[in-house]
């Protein structure tokens, strides 16, 4: 362990991003501490563990923050499809705003030098015109309760950092994929493995994605790069794919044929509207592109892993752990 590198607290250490980050920090010699809601296994068992309970506005972080110089905050109430909560915004605010700012205030008081916040590109908005990507410093336009809560957390963090002596780094990723990915990406791989015909063979949108390895690399860079201080960064793989191309490449990585029917996007959107699934059609047919020029320029950073290599790694893990 390199004692010259900062001691880093990682919240959400057992989550998808946290469990990818911890081994990288350990590999590079950082002194990492894993913060968990409840006792569980983590990807880097050598790291000390602190159990903090559910993230809310009254957590006591004093033990977790002892001798910590950098906090990487990945813990959050994540975006929920078809949220049935009577007040979704209040639920998101409780965790993503009150919980985050409570941690940040205590971190600032404890002398933490840098707070790296994993936000979401949904703070920028939901959709971009084809060929007109979001930039990091565009005016935010959060549209749903999850995005609103992330935006409010960003604003609160900037205020806390400005009042104290703590640098704040905000990273807004799009959809993150990699080994162990769940939800829609996992379902897509299952459909392809089963050879289910999909009406997505003629979608000409463009969407930015980010492989977990690329996001982890940027987080690690942001921990120590002087130019990252008090900046907002977008991150992606640097190659935007249409839904059709993503399915074709993923099928190839899985060693399966892509059975894609060339249904026009307008027909898909009409059908989704009739079924009251407009949000689904937006994700399948709409564009969401990110301009990562600022990230490349300020941090001298480029995605180290190609889309094809990241998809191949994701596919291998899926096939190895798939229940037949």
Rounded to a whole number of angstroms, the CA Rg of the chain reads: 20
Angstrom CA distances, 168 to 146, 148, 259, stand at 20, 19, 46
Catalytic residue, chosen from 26, 134, 146, 177, is 146
| Two tokens, residue 169 | 């780094």
Give me the sign of the Cα torsion angle 85, 88, 91, 96.
Answer: positive
Q: Cβ–Cβ contacts within 10 Å for residue 284, how many?
A: 21
| Two tokens, residue 120 | 């979401």
To the query of whether residue 146 is one of the catalytic residues in this protein, the response is yes
Return the H-helix or E-strand segment holding 127. none
Positions marked catalytic: 146
């Amino acid at each position: 362990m390199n004692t010259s590198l900062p001691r880093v607290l990682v919240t959400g250490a057992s989550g998808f991003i946290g469990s990818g980050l911890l081994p990288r920090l350990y590999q590079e010699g950082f002194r990492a501490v894993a913060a968990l809601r409840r006792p569980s296994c983590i990807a880097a068992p050598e790291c000390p563990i602190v159990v903090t309970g559910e993230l809310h506005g009254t957590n006591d972080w004093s033990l977790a923050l002892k001798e910590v110089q950098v906090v990487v905050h990945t813990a959050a109430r994540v975006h929920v499809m078809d949220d049935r909560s009577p007040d979704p915004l209040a639920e998101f605010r409780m965790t993503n705003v009150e919980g985050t700012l409570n941690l940040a205030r205590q971190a600032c008081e404890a002398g933490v030098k840098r707070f790296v916040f994993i936000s979401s590109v949904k703070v920028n908005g939901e959709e971009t015109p084809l060929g007109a990507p979001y930039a990091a410093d565009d005016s935010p336009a959060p549209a749903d309760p999850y995005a609103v809560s992330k935006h409010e957390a960003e604003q609160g963090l900037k205020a806390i950092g400005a009042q104290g002596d703590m640098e704040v780094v905000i990273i807004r990723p799009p959809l993150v994929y990699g080994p162990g990915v769940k939800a829609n990406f996992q379902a897509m791989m299952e459909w392809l493995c089963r050879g289910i015909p999909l009406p997505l063979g003629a979608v000409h949108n463009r969407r930015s994605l980010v492989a977990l390895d690329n996001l982890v690399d940027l987080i690690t860079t942001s921990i120590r790069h002087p130019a990252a201080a008090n900046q907002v960064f977008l991150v992606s793989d640097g190659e935007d794919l249409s839904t059709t191309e993503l399915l074709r490449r993923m099928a190839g990585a899985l060693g399966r044929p892509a059975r894609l029917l060339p249904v026009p996007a307008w027909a898909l959107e009409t059908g989704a509207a009739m079924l009251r699934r407009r949000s689904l059609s937006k994700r399948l047919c709409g564009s969401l592109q990110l301009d990562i020029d600022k990230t490349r320029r300020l941090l001298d950073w480029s995605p180290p892993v190609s889309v094809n290599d990241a998809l191949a790694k994701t596919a291998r893990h899926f096939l190895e752990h798939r229940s037949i």
